[in-house]
With several copies, the nearest count.
Chain A
């Protein structure tokens, strides 16, 4: 068994570890799907995966390739539609939501709409999709990001999906449901949570071989650092085996 791993495999394992057995997670395309499948095969056999277009409680035997493919409702407990899923989220039923984006700021706001002025964009991006809904309605959102200065910015060009917006109280003032918001940011360098008082991103753990300095140099805003920054364990042999042999045997993410 080759215990070397690539950045995607690390991200998948880190995201997987956040997922809780017997709880609900809103799963988007890509890394969250692999993470959910890995979690079901590891510590969270009863992770309830919820997919945007209607699948709830599937057994992820084969890796879904899109949020609406047949595998998202494989042996599922419920196959409905996007309204049922989004309304369940709005009603408070979905604990974790996974998000991505082209840009993120210190408050966990995400941009997946446009680089530059949205009315005359330099780069037109794919848009919110369900991202805004996940960020608005799920209890705890986890952003999975590639870590560099062009992505971790002091001021992003467009808030597609609200994080803590401008800081403490801003979500509530905007009318978003109380006690919701960004929970973790998982990157190829580290994991952040959010400071209770300022609602800004705070470094809590480092990936193997990464230093606080590395993180700072690759982040376009000032980061908070937890008192005890922990070390993220590298993917275990068990994780890698399951990931490569069971979750992604075709090696789409290698």
Chain B
């Protein structure tokens, strides 16, 4: 047949921090244990077994909601470092940056929502501690997960066209071979380790989320290792009674951590409110590195684990946050 081709009209100048090898991902998915075996363990054990320095990591959440902060704190305490990050985050990314554990970011949003710019983001990016930043929109980053979840190397979109976000991304603009329109292609993104906090899971890792589910479905299917933390552990019979409520099936999961109030000081839908007092305290501390260091010492490094943290927060406080 004649020599046809699709013009590549533009290529973003950003690098692909974590290139996706879909055939290797297939092999890995093939080898994942499909047996119904308990994966219950502590935060520390999960980090110890499944995370290593230099990994490309990501957290699923919305703002401070449903955020696996327990895993973030365990990660910081573990001493592992030099992570590369899928940067759609708030408090969790802020802690990691404050502890200076991040070197490269696929950046879509890291800030403090209504409270604006984060001191940690500014310090780490402006100083070059984070030495590589590639820009994306929220949708683009999520579609990168979605492509990986679908087992394909890219997704097409109209987003980012005409912007400097595109210029600083690693997307490629093509002319559609069917319609002739311009499209940005965004490459699949496979995490080394993903962290998701859910409303409930069984010990094998079958997960339910109440209400909106953010990007849990997509990211849950785009991880080499997936660590689930759950507000509640339920029996598998309960999963089997309502299988249309399962959003992440067990075979995707490597560890299940039981962690009520995992999102603290953030909130958890249907479970507890944000701890506004503590969050305001945090906001005041993160303004300077000194303050941040003090915060990390008191609330992360000096607290051995999530149970100890809950004790430190105190029963009355936790009760008062309940929905």
Contacts and interface: CB of A to CB of B under 8 A. Distances in A.
**Within 8 Å by CB, do A and B touch in the complex?**
yes
Interface of A: 21-24, 29-30, 46, 48, 51-57, 59, 65-70, 72-73, 75-83, 86-93, 95, 113, 118, 121-133, 135-137, 139, 158-162, 165, 170-171, 173-179
Contacts of B25: 91-92
Interface in B229-280: 236, 239-241, 243-244, 246, 249-251, 267, 269-270, 274
Given A30-B114, A95-B30, A122 B126 contact: yes
A168 to B, nearest CB: 13
Q: Which among A48, A89, A91, A125 has the greatest number of chain B C-beta atoms within 10 A?
A: A91
A69 B116 CA distance: 17
A46 B35 contact: yes
B27 A127 contact: no
Nearest to B242: A79
Contacts, number: 274
Given A113-B165, A124-B121, A125-B117, A54 B212 contact: yes
Nearest to A124: B125
B238 to A, nearest CB: 11
A127 B215 contact: no
Contact of A90 (B66, B157, B217, B269): B157
A29 B135 CA distance: 21
Interface string B67-97: 0000000000000000000011000000000
Contacts of B294: none
Contacts of A121: 125-126
Interface of B: 22-23, 25-30, 32-36, 61-66, 87-88, 107-114, 116-118, 121-122, 125-126, 133, 135-140, 142-143, 146, 148-152, 157-165, 168, 173, 181-184, 206, 211-218, 221, 236, 239-241, 243-244, 246, 249-251, 267, 269-270, 274, 323
A171 B162 contact: yes
A127 B121 CA distance: 11
Q: Which among B125, B135, B137 has the greatest number of chain A C-beta atoms within 10 A?
A: B137
9 contacts: A30-B114, A68-B62, A68-B66, A77-B243, A83-B142, A126-B116, A137-B151, A159-B164, A170-B162
A234 B218 CA distance: 46
A173 to B, nearest CB: 8
Given A81-B215, A90-B151, A90-B152, A128 B108 contact: yes
A9 B221 CA distance: 38
A89 B269 CA distance: 25
B28 A92 contact: yes
Contact of B212 (A65, A68, A93, A159): A68
A175 B181 contact: yes
Nearest to A51: B212
A146 to B, nearest CB: 12
Contact of A68 (B65, B206, B251): B65
B146 A66 contact: no
Q: Which among B107, B181, B218 has the greatest number of chain A C-beta atoms within 10 A?
A: B107
Given A29-B113, A79-B244, A124-B126, 17 more contacts: A29-B114, A54-B212, A68-B66, A68-B214, A69-B269, A76-B240, A78-B243, A81-B215, A83-B146, A92-B26, A118-B135, A126-B112, A126-B116, A128-B136, A137-B151, A174-B161, A175-B184
